[in-house]
């Protein structure tokens, strides 16, 4: 038996010891930056995403890259468009490390509900990008209202192993390949706790308990290790993904709420030979912040969602601040088509909750919760997430402090191309789906 590769050549269906099929990208990114102009933002308060702040700062970018970031004395080359940003703020592009845009798009109808392949407790063979609908109006809303320049699209949490997630640049495109973040690693979505045991327990099958959850997970990793070590086994798409995790090529994003369960997952990861990159939702991370720091695991959290089910009962608004105080990695994520439009405000709420108990996290550090730290968890921090020379010119100009409820994006650049301008109706992208419909391009 043979199979056909993406270039049309026939090859054996046996995996083969040196077969690259398990890790190659058969659906490569075709992303190309939109054209931009050399630009100088002057006089702004600049938050660089890594804890740095420059008052009366200057940000230069050209040919899609950040050229220089400095003070008022930074020389501006000839040919740059100058934007007076006095009284305004500049940050890296906002990044959401947990989104379901495109796989659970608007309108939220069954015909477009493509985020959970709930036919087996483990579905590592499915890839979120094969469900992403690029016309989801949520993408343009996230850009205009939230300054979102990159995002991680994950499968849902109905399965213990839900499949591959995909990193996207938030640009208009006819195809998902045209949005795929170039060079970004894949992530594997995993889930623990109530969701998988409820979904499959209600079907009268394993897992129906937390111990069932762990049993199914452990067996999946054992089977994947055996697959990796057998050069003659038939190729298996799901085990390709698990093998990629075990080789360190695919990151693990793990939906998990309770502290005790996160600690057990860390032990399981060590037993099976993989690493958790981030726990998502993680409402009890504050209880084990020292453990998370020791294992270099980020917590992608909400500001104040809690109590909507038992495993969320002990969530507290001070969660992010307590994690930060321990020196662990904090990310503010959305998991929501509305929340993604105001990650900056969610971060500000979490910051304020910390201040009320005596933890004063500086604004410049908080901005990193929805920029650099999110990029780190997605494996793209070398390319974006902070204002540093040579990185992608993903930049937001805010009309005020981004941690104020009164502030919103004024201009947004992705790879140096201005894709949103609040002052220019022609630079307010609209999804094809919205054209001609009431509310087209509404940015309220």
State residue 403's pLDDT score.
98
The Cα 56–Cα 53 span in angstroms is 10
User: pLDDT at residue 9 above 60?
Assistant: no
User: pLDDT at residue 163 above 80?
Assistant: yes
Residue 16: band (very low, low, confident or very high) from pLDDT cuts 50, 70, 90: low
Residue 119: band (very low, low, confident or very high) from pLDDT cuts 50, 70, 90: very high
Structure tokens belonging to residue 272: 């099976």
Contact (Cβ atoms closer than 8 angstroms) between residue 365 and residue 54: no
State residue 440's pLDDT score.
84
The Cα 172–Cα 432 span in angstroms is 9
State residue 439's pLDDT score.
82
Q: Phi-psi bin for 210: left (phi > 0), alpha (psi -120 to 50), beta?
A: alpha
State residue 6's pLDDT score.
33
User: pLDDT at residue 21 above 60?
Assistant: no
State residue 441's pLDDT score.
78
- The full DSSP string for 186-212 is PEEEEE-SHHHHHHHHTTT-S-SSHHH
SS3 415: coil
User: pLDDT at residue 19 above 90?
Assistant: no
Contact (Cβ atoms closer than 8 angstroms) between residue 318 and residue 283: no
Residue 25: band (very low, low, confident or very high) from pLDDT cuts 50, 70, 90: confident
Residue 382: band (very low, low, confident or very high) from pLDDT cuts 50, 70, 90: very high
207 prior amide bond cis, ω within 30? yes
pTM summary value: 0.94
The Cα 367–Cα 119 span in angstroms is 39
User: pLDDT at residue 7 above 70?
Assistant: no
Average pLDDT over residues 254-267: 98
User: pLDDT at residue 8 above 90?
Assistant: no
Closest CA to 179 of 283, 294, 374, 27: 27
Residue 4: band (very low, low, confident or very high) from pLDDT cuts 50, 70, 90: very low
Q: Which position has the token pair 């990208």?
A: 25
Structure tokens belonging to residue 314: 């002990």
Average per-residue pLDDT for the chain: 94
Closest CA to 115 of 160, 65, 57, 154: 154
Tens of pLDDT, residue by residue over 56-99, are 999 999 999 999 999 999 999 999 999 999 999 999 999 999 99
State residue 10's pLDDT score.
38
Tens of pLDDT, residue by residue over 190-240, are 999 999 999 999 999 999 999 999 999 999 999 999 999 999 999 999 999
SS3 444: coil
State residue 99's pLDDT score.
98
The Cα 349–Cα 161 span in angstroms is 32
The Cα 110–Cα 304 span in angstroms is 29
Q: Which position has the token pair 């930074």?
A: 74
Pairing of strands 94-99, 53-62: unpaired
Alpha-carbon 91 to chain mean position: 17
Tens of pLDDT, residue by residue over 270-325, are 999 999 999 999 999 999 999 999 999 999 999 999 999 999 999 999 999 999 99
Closest CA to 103 of 147, 135, 142, 150: 135
What values do phi and psi take at 66, rounded to 5? Answer: -75, 125
User: pLDDT at residue 3 above 60?
Assistant: no
SS3 304: coil
Q: Which position has the token pair 């270099």?
A: 296
State residue 412's pLDDT score.
98
Average pLDDT over residues 110-117: 96
Which whole-number Å values give the CA distances from 153 to 104, 163, 214, 253, 441, in the listed order? Answer: 10, 11, 25, 11, 22
Average pLDDT over residues 435-443: 83
Tens of pLDDT, residue by residue over 312-327, are 999 999 999 999 999 9
Tens of pLDDT, residue by residue over 325-353, are 999 999 999 999 999 999 999 999 999 99
Percent of the chain with pLDDT over 90: 90
- Residue 6: which residues within 8 A CB-CB, separation 6 or more? 26
State residue 12's pLDDT score.
43
Which whole-number Å values give the CA distances from 362 to 116, 205, 352, 359, in the listed order? Answer: 38, 49, 11, 10
């Amino acid at each position: 038996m043979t199979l056909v590769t993406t270039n049309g050549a026939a090859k054996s269906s046996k995996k083969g010891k040196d077969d690259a099929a398990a890790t190659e990208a058969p659906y490569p990114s075709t992303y190309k930056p939109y054209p931009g102009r050399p630009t100088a933002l002057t006089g702004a308060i600049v938050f660089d995403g890594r804890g740095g702040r420059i008052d009366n700062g200057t940000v230069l970018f050209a040919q899609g890259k950040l050229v220089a970031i400095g003070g008022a004395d930074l020389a501006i080359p000839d040919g740059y468009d100058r934007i007076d940003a006095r009284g305004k703020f500049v940050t890296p592009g906002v990044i959401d490390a947990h989104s379901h845009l495109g796989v659970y798009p608007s309108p939220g109808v069954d015909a477009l509900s493509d985020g959970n392949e709930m036919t087996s407790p483990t579905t590592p063979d499915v890839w979120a990008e094969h469900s992403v609908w690029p016309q989801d109006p949520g993408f343009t809303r996230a850009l205009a209202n939230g300054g979102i320049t990159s995002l991680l699209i994950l499968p849902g949490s109905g399965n213990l192993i839900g499949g591959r997630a995909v990193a996207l640049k938030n640009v208009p495109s006819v195809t998902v390949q045209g949005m795929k973040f170039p060079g970004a690693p894949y992530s594997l979505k995993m889930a623990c706790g109530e969701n998988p045991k409820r979904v499959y327990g209600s079907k009268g099958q394993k897992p129906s308990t937390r111990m069932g959850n762990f049993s199914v997970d452990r067996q999946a990793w054992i089977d994947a290790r055996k697959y990796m070590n057998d050069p003659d086994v038939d190729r298996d798409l799901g085990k390709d993904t698990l093998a990629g995790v075990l080789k360190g090529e695919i990151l693990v994003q793990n939906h998990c709420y309770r502290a005790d369960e996160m600690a057990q997952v860390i032990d399981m990861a060590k037993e099976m030979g993989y690493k958790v990159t981030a726990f998502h939702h993680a409402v009890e991370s504050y209880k084990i912040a020292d453990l998370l720091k020791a294992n270099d695991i980020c917590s992608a959290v909400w500001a104040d969602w809690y109590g909507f089910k038992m495993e969320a009962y002990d969530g507290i608004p001070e969660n992010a601040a307590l994690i930060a105080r321990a020196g662990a990695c904090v990310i503010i994520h959305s998991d929501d088509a509305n929340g993604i439009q105001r990650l900056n405000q969610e971060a500000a709420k979490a910051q304020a909750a910390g201040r009320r108990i005596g933890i004063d996290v500086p604004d410049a550090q908080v901005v990193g919760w929805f920029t650099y730290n999110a990029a780190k968890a997605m494996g793209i921090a070398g390319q974006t997430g902070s204002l540093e020379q040579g990185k992608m010119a993903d930049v937001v100009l805010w009309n005020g402090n981004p941690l104020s409820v009164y502030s919103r994006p004024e201009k947004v650049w992705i790879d140096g191309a201005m894709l949103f301008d609040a002052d220019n109706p022609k630079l307010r992208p609209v999804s094809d789906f919205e054209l001609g419909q009431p509310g087209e391009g509404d940015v309220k």
